[in-house]
């Protein structure tokens, strides 16, 4: 039975992490939000209230994945290597209740218009979804003709993406990069959004130099620039630590396991005095995973999963001995802070009822999105329209 249909749902007795450790709490859900939270909430004055007993489980915010190829990625081996669209059930079974979609290498046969349609579809099907305009190349493909107009006028667009320091990038000039980031900044201000710029980072020895060029050539704050895939090489990881110490956010990819997996990257960054609040983790899910030789020839290709996000969280706790309250932050509240998503990434009265219920082994038991149960006993209870 869909317990959320009763209108008011009481989740009773879980150990709650907001992500701060709050001990055993009851949560009252209604209208897609948390309307009350206390050590005990009586249900006798709430006729028709559905009560869910969660004693023995851990309750925390749903995961926010800010880097997913919702309409697929790839194409580096030709049209047959384009990865397919992602299904709703894959996202929720991975504990993801808020997702940000983007384009990758292929900004020619894939379009921001299609990405916007998929973003709206996922929102209709039950989770929260946003998107970035742009793709790998500059000038950016957009919906309205400019980055600033996209952010100002399109509700679902919260930032822009491009690729730098990669042989698949368009080799953008410093001036073009600065203009892109400045447009995102202004569009964000006019649209009431974060106005962030996300940078796919490749293996070029230039490392993060293009981001410092933006800071030199514009007045865009460093906190609006996010380099990602920073665990793909040791030199890039080292550069990321310096960027974070300078005040920037840094993003590690849970889909990258070598040379540094995301959990190890977070642990090493914190040990190197990088503030935990400036670290995020995303999956790069549903994109292609191409393998190139030293000459740049494609030698293999696969599809990234979104379940790597929860695995990284689990590894951070079980192998690197992070308290769960700290381990959750790069997957929840830190991401919400960077993206300017109020009501997301934390559990408190007034927040959206996006919830992850975990077993003692940190496996998914239930997922709730917008106050509706979408996963039970680790399996999706909802399906996308064409699943």
Residues 6+ apart with CB under 8 A from 147: 133, 134, 140, 160, 180, 183, 184, 187
- 331 neighbors 281 (Cβ within 8 angstroms): yes
Integer Cα distance of 329 and 278 in angstroms: 10
Q: What is the pLDDT of residue 287?
A: 80
Which two tokens mark 201? 């980072």
C-beta separation of 357 from 54 below 8 A: yes
Q: Is residue 167 annotated as involved in ligand binding?
A: no
- pLDDT reported for residue 2: 44
Active site residue 44: no
**Pair 99, 91: CB distance under 8 Å:** yes
At 328 the pLDDT is 98
Q: Write down the architecture of domain 62-339 according to CATH.
A: Alpha-Beta Barrel (3.20)
Asked if residue 13 belongs to a known ligand binding site, the reply is no
| Residue among 273, 251, 262, 283 at smallest CA distance from 91 | 283
For residue 370, give the nearest of 108, 121, 27, 4 by alpha carbon. 4
Cα–Cα distance for residue pair 159/228, rounded to 1 Å: 14
What is the pLDDT, as a whole number, of residue 290?
A: 67
Q: Is 232 annotated as a binding residue?
A: yes
Could you tell me where in the chain the CATH 3.20.20.140 domains are found? 62-339
Q: To 10 degrees, what angle do helices 262-271 and 308-318 make?
A: 50
150 is in an annotated binding site: no
| Topology classification of domain 8-60+346-380 | Urease, subunit C; domain 1 (2.30.40)
The pLDDT value given to residue 232: 96
Largest CA distance in the chain: 70
CATH 2.30.40.10 residue ranges of the chain are: 8-60+346-380
The residue to which tokens 């964000």 are assigned: 188
Q: Find out whether 124 is annotated in a ligand binding site.
A: no
Q: Is 381 annotated as a binding residue?
A: no
What is the rounded distance in angstroms from the CA atom of residue 377 to the CA atom of residue 54?
A: 12
Q: Residue 136, annotated ligand binder?
A: yes
Q: What is the pTM of this model?
A: 0.94
76 appears as a binding residue in the annotation: yes
Active-site pick, 284, 307, 352, 354 = 284
Paired tokens of 189: 């201000």
| Under-50 pLDDT residues of the chain | 1-5
């Amino acid at each position: 039975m869909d317990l959320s249909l009763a209108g008011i749902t009481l989740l009773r007795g879980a150990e709650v992490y907001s992500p701060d450790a709050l001990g055993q709490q009851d949560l009252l859900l209604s209208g897609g939000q948390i309307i009350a939270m206390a050590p005990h909430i009586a249900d006798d004055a709430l006729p028709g209230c559905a009560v869910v007993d969660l004693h023995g489980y851990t309750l925390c915010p749903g995961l926010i994945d800010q880097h997913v190829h919702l309409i697929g990625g790839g194409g580096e081996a030709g049209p047959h290597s384009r990865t397919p669209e992602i299904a709703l059930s894959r996202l929720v079974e991975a504990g993801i209740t808020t997702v940000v979609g983007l384009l990758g290498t292929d900004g020619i046969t894939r379009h921001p218009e299609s990405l916007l349609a998929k973003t709206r579809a996922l929102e209709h099907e039950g989770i929260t979804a946003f998107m970035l305009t742009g793709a790998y190349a500059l000038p950016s493909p957009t919906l309205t003709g400019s980055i600033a107009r996209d952010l100002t006028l399109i509700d679902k667009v919260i930032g822009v993406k491009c690729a730098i320091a990669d042989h698949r990038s368009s080799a953008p000039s410093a001036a073009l990069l600065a203009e892109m980031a400045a447009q995102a900044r202004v569009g964000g201000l006019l649209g009431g959004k974060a106005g962030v710029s996300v940078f796919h980072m490749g293996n070029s020895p230039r490392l993060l130099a293009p981001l410092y060029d933006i800071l030199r050539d514009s007045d865009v704050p460093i906190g609006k620039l996010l380099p990602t895939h920073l665990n793909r090489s040791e030199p890039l990881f080292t550069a990321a630590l310096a960027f974070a110490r300078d005040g920037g956010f840094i993003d590690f990819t849970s889909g990258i396991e070598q040379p540094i997996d995301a959990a190890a990257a977070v642990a090493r960054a914190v040990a190197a005095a990088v503030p935990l609040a400036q670290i995020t983790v995303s999956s790069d899910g549903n994109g292609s995973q191409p393998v190139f030789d030293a000459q740049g020839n494609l030698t293999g290709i696969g599809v990234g999963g979104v379940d790597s996000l929860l695995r990284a969280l689990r590894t951070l706790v079980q192998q690197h001995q992070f308290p769960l309250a700290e381990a959750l932050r790069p997957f929840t509240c830190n991401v919400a802070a960077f993206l300017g998503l109020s009501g997301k990434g934390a559990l408190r009265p007034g927040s959206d009822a996006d919830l992850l219920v975990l077993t003692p082994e940190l496996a998914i038991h239930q997922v709730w999105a917008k106050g509706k149960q979408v996963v039970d006993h680790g399996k999706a209870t909802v399906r996308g329209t064409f699943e």
